[in-house]
Chains A and B, each alone.
Chain A
Amino acid sequence: GENVEQHPSTLSVQEGDSAVIKCTYSDSASNYFPWYKQELGKRPQLIIDIRSNVGEKKDQRIAVTLNKTAKHFSLHITETQPEDSAVYFCAASPLQGAQKLVFGQGTRLTINP
């Protein structure tokens, strides 16, 4: 079955700098890759997603890139702010349409003022 690896497990950056989180997946049939942000004690919130027919997607300070050949995708956050501090999870959906998500282990991002 699908396996998703996420790195790094913790990341600390200065406010205003960029943060990059990387994920690799094993199932070449996976075609949907969302990113969730989870603050302490809260629900995972979808922040951006990408499908396999697209190589890059941007939404203001957040961007995601996908390399299908290498089976990896990355989250880029620019001009980081203290409110970006949270745990970020990548996920992959192994089949078309509505299916389960396989999550990475999470990255704890800390933005230092």
Chain B
Amino acid sequence: NAGVMQNPRHLVRRRGQEARLRCSPMKGHSHVYWYRQLPEEGLKFMVYLQKENIIDESGMPKERFSAEFPKEGPSILRIQQVVRGDSAAYFCASSPVLALFTDTQYFGPGTRLTVL
């Protein structure tokens, strides 16, 4: 049973470019969460999605950031016009739907974004 998959693992962008980060949840999971981790800091919640729905985007910056989880395919976190302050590790987590405990979240390996 494959775990949460993220790609790319490392992404380098120049200021002003777009970054697209992908996340495939574990098999049987349809809740996806995105977190950002700045160097030497904790994880900060960004957005929580279910298939075709954004449930909670209270941690997402209002501009330049968007997320989706289509009916088919991975969840995408999109950052437009990246700035140096966007450099961070972006982690995706997933949790199951039909289980006793739907709150248990399992993390992917992360995408390390570097903005030059």
Contact = CB atoms under 8 A, between A and B. Distances in A.
B72 interface: no
Contacts of B31: 98
Given A43-B91, A89-B42, A89-B43, A99 B48 contact: yes
A58 B43 CA distance: 25
B43 A105 contact: no
Interface stretch (A13-21, A44-52, A62-70): A44-52
B65 interface: no
Contacts of A103: 35, 42-45
Size band of the interface chain B makes with A: 20 to 34
Task: Report, as a range, how many residues of chain A touch the other chain.
Answer: 20 to 34
B109 A93 contact: no
Contact of A98 (B103, B109, B110): B103
Given A97-B103, A98-B95, A100-B59, A106 B110 contact: no
Given A89-B42, A103-B43, A44 B91 contact: yes
Interface of B: 31, 33, 35, 41-45, 48, 56, 58-59, 91, 93, 95, 97, 101-110
17 contacts: A6-B42, A34-B104, A42-B109, A43-B107, A43-B110, A46-B106, A51-B101, A97-B102, A98-B48, A98-B95, A100-B45, A100-B56, A101-B43, A101-B45, A101-B93, A103-B45, A105-B41
A106 to B, nearest CB: 5
Contact of B104 (A42, A44, A49, A102): A49
Interface in A35-63: 36, 42-46, 49, 51
Contact of B56 (A6, A44, A97, A99): A99
A88 B104 CA distance: 17
Interface string A1-20: 00000100000000000000
B7 to A, nearest CB: 14
A105 B37 CA distance: 11
Contact of A104 (B42, B101, B110): B42
Contacts of A93: 103
